[in-house]
Amino acid sequence: MVSLILISNINSKIRISSETFLKWDDDPVISIGETFSNLPRFLIPLEISSGEKRVAASPETVKKLIALGCHVTLEVGAGLSAGFLDQDYKIAGADLVSKGDSDPWRKTDVLLCVNPPPSESLLKMKQGALLIGLLEPYGNIALAKTLEKGGFSAFALELLPRISRAQSADVLSSQGNIAGYKSVLLAAGALDRYFPMLMTAAGTVQPAKIVVLGAGVAGLQAVATARRLGAVVFVSDIRPAVKEQVESLGARFINLPDFQDNPSESGGYAKQASEAFLSAQRQQLSDHLAEADVAICTAQVPGKKAPRLITEEMLDRMRIGSVVVDLAVEQGGNCAGTRAGETVDRKGVKLIGASDLPSTVPNHASSLYARNLLALVEPLVSNGELTIDSNDELIDGCMISFQGDIRHPEVFSFGGAH
């Protein structure tokens, strides 16, 4: 069997190791099959959230996990929506099991997922199992109760520190890149005009004007994609430090309102701005939006409701046929009137509530997500043993529970999203 134990408080390490327990009257000769069963056992489930097409492991990363000394089990069909065949996983060395089979869950040491499985599925796992994924922890009291009840450990990837060493494991960045890219394609498909300037025999077509709100990972990718399509791009962000990045991509930075204490950033995220600052910024944006063809909203603050940047009054000034794509819609939206997963026609202005965009590019989204998970797990595994150092700031930041003990209770009481 594989056990999860706390070594000591001196080095604050947690270890999942291969240990074989034999009765005195057992045959001391262990077959290869029995030895294999003692390796840390990873399970990749079929994602069941509505519209979710991603998977937490690719055949490439399964092969690498096995090379590290792990035993990998995958539910049949888990990768099909992302373009990965069951046979590809089997060739990589994974065991395939039917969805709904409880036995693999009971034997699991580490569960890799995209979204958190339902509580009834998680509670099939043995006590001390480790859960890794986008666990939606903010305000998620139900998840906290499940972790406590099952005695589970958990890494919430939303909480990975935004530090240089974490870049290869940064799920939010890899998935945000896809969201920013796809948001521009959605806008281009819905807009009643071309993006690029075109010179034709019938005359010259002027380029579309795009306003991107927020210059994080998704926003910068939106800028780059819109520029590749030939649009003129303006960017609004509360952090003056991003101006250089914006301009390096060929966009124009909208200068900030003149406040004594302009917002900055913390841990790679924009800090919550004051309402007075946001009000002044909205006034400034109103004139730009009145001339814009597309607005792409990407401004989010972890664990909090998204700032409302585009008001009803600002929408009234946008021209008929223009488009707003709101990537923050699931956090309440940057734009008034957007609804998750829907396109709303508001007086001729199309409001696109762009939720779950990474899942609309499932092959590349899954490949990148799986590599992020591998980058997080790989340094922790050696010779079939998984050792976790809670003094490591990377681990400490995202490990929300250890064997049912909630380590960051403020996260679960933060936001009240669930």
Q: Which residues are catalytic?
A: 162, 167, 170, 173, 269
Q: Which of 226, 212, 233, 214 is nearest to 181 (CA)?
A: 226
Three-class DSSP labels, 133-179: ECCCCCCCHHHHHHHHHHCCEEEEHHHCCCCHHHHHHCHHHHHHHHH
**Distance from C-alpha of 196 to C-alpha of 209, rounded to nearest angstrom:** 10
245-274 burial, b at 16+ Cβ within 10 Å, e below that, comes to: bbeebebebbebbeeeeebeeeebebeebe
Report the DSSP beta bridge partners of residue 6.
14
Please state whether beta strands 153-156 and 399-402 pair in parallel, antiparallel, or not at all (unpaired). antiparallel
Please list, in sequence order, all residues whose beta carbon lies within 8 angstroms of the beta carbon of residue 189, skipping any fewer than 6 positions away.
none
Query: Treating both helix axes as pointing N-terminal to C-terminal, what angle do 217-228 and 171-190 enclose, rounded to 10 degrees?
Result: 40
> What whole-number distance in Å separates Cα of residue 239 and Cα of residue 243?
8
Evaluated on CA atoms 141, 104, 83, 62, the torsion sign reads positive
- DSSP string computed for 209-274: EEEEE--SHHHHHHHHHHHHTT-EEEEE-S-GGGHHHHHHTT-EE-PPP--TT---EETTEEPPPP
Q: How many CB atoms lie within 10 A of CB 181?
A: 20
For residue 152, what are its two tokens?
A: 């589970």
Q: HEC profile for 9-62?
A: CCCCEEEEEECCCCCCCCCCCCCHHHHHCCCCEEEECCCCCCCCCCCCCCHHHH
Pair of tokens at residue 160 = 């990975």
Please name the helix (run of DSSP H) or strand (run of DSSP E) that holds residue 126, with its range, or none.
none
